[in-house]
Structure 1
């Protein structure tokens, strides 16, 4: 005879007052499993995410980036690597089309993105590999590992930070750098 049980509980942390639901499942032919909803945070959001969120109030691309990044983090947190990989693919496409317009295909967008100087040739190769991993999930039933998805998200976060934040940050650094001294050329007497 086969039996199965599911016990739901609402629990609250005595330290931070966080409330979660706990599900304890078990059966006569399986081990007991315990799940928490929402699950523990998988990855801390980057420090610039708050700035991106503030800018999202003002324009569409920042809103799209915030929404896509949030969905990717949720997919990672909930053990959905395929959805996270597809989200990274969409995120990269959004960044490229924001900067160079939609050229028709991923390859054409990536070429234009590199040609206009937003990325180096090495970065272009990396982005192409990440785009292919996202496409493989959709078209070739690929299941990326957690480490694969982490690497893809690392690349996407670094690209967003570089494209949307580094120019302003470096401009601020440049304002604090003292000017080079000016030297006069002295004519030699012969």
Structure 2
């Protein structure tokens, strides 16, 4: 006997798939009270065999005619376990941010939309607290997240939208729409990813711009291991392709390096001649390997 099939969200596959109906029970409410039919079904995904519970309410009293001359009966579908909300790996998050984010996602998953709106706003507050962002009002703290360089100006504009959403939920008891909360979740997860996850995941795997002179010293020291004592070249030769990692002008880096060599604080190089190198248009400072 061929089993009945339905389109149903699968938490394992992450999208709607065909499900076999393994068993079903239905009943109809008293039409004199509210005419509707409720179906309970056990369904199994045809893709991964995950079993879930499906409840469908056919609301006959809310039926309405369509342009095709047919009656449309609204359906309310609930799936259990409910669809997970929030997919971030939270291992890099501080406890306070992890806790607020998880509680908010759980509230959203369980349909507590007003609490979810408040929770997304609270998640931003928690991040500001963890990052020691100053400001009496959240509006100021969001702007300071951008001025501190943790997020972009465009990101801060999006966070203000979540601030509005959270304020409306908390002060006006205004329930956000599902679409608003879906957008808020994306924005908050982008914030968390930017502040906590990207640097941890990319460290050691991708080339990074060098912003501190100490990091430049480490790079130069490693590069000099490939040269012999007495070799004399400009800094560009020693650095090679990795010169692109310098933040700002190489002249400012050279100036700082010259200062440290002059004070005897960087002893791997000494001053050499100043001359053109290969086809350079200008004379370049050369350095002699110690």
TM over 0.5: yes
Partner residue of 1:13? 45
Instruction: Please give the per-residue CA displacement for 1:34-56, whole angstroms capped at 9, x wherever unaligned.
Output: 523226747672xxx23x2x346
- CA-CA distance at 1:27 after TM superposition: 6.1
Gaps of 5+ in 2: 1-30, 63-72, 209-239, 245-249, 255-272, 277-282, 284-290
- CA-CA distance at 1:112 after TM superposition: 4.1
Count of residue pairs brought into register by the alignment: 178
- Would you say 1:25 and 2:57 are equivalent positions? yes
Kindly report structure 1 stretches of 4+ aligned residues shifted beyond 6 Å. 181-184
Instruction: Please give the per-residue CA displacement for 1:45-78, whole angstroms capped at 9, x wherever unaligned.
Output: 2xxx23x2x346xx52353255145326515xx4
Aligned with 1:138 (options 157, 166, 170): 170
Partner residue of 1:180? 243
TM-score, scaled to structure 1: 0.68
- CA-CA distance at 1:87 after TM superposition: 2.2
Q: In 1, Cα distance between the equivalents of 2:118 and 2:174?
A: 11
Q: In 2, Cα distance between the equivalents of 1:101 and 1:33?
A: 47
**Larger relative contact order (Cα-Cα within 8 Å, sequence gap ≥ 6):** 1
- CA-CA distance at 1:147 after TM superposition: 3.1
Aligned with 1:74 (options 79, 104, 109): 109
- Would you say 1:100 and 2:142 are equivalent positions? no
Q: In 1, Cα distance between the equivalents of 2:178 and 2:158?
A: 18
- CA-CA distance at 1:131 after TM superposition: 0.6
Higher helix share: 1
Q: In 2, Cα distance between the equivalents of 1:156 and 1:27?
A: 36
Q: In 1, Cα distance between the equivalents of 2:199 and 2:96?
A: 17
Gaps of 5+ in 1: none
Partner SS for 2:189 = helix
Residues 97 and 123, structure 2, Cα contact 8 Å, conserved in 1: no
CA-based RMSD of the aligned residues comes to 3.8
Partner SS for 1:29 = helix
- CA-CA distance at 1:154 after TM superposition: 2.0
- Would you say 1:63 and 2:98 are equivalent positions? yes
TM-score, scaled to structure 2: 0.48
Partner SS for 2:243 = coil
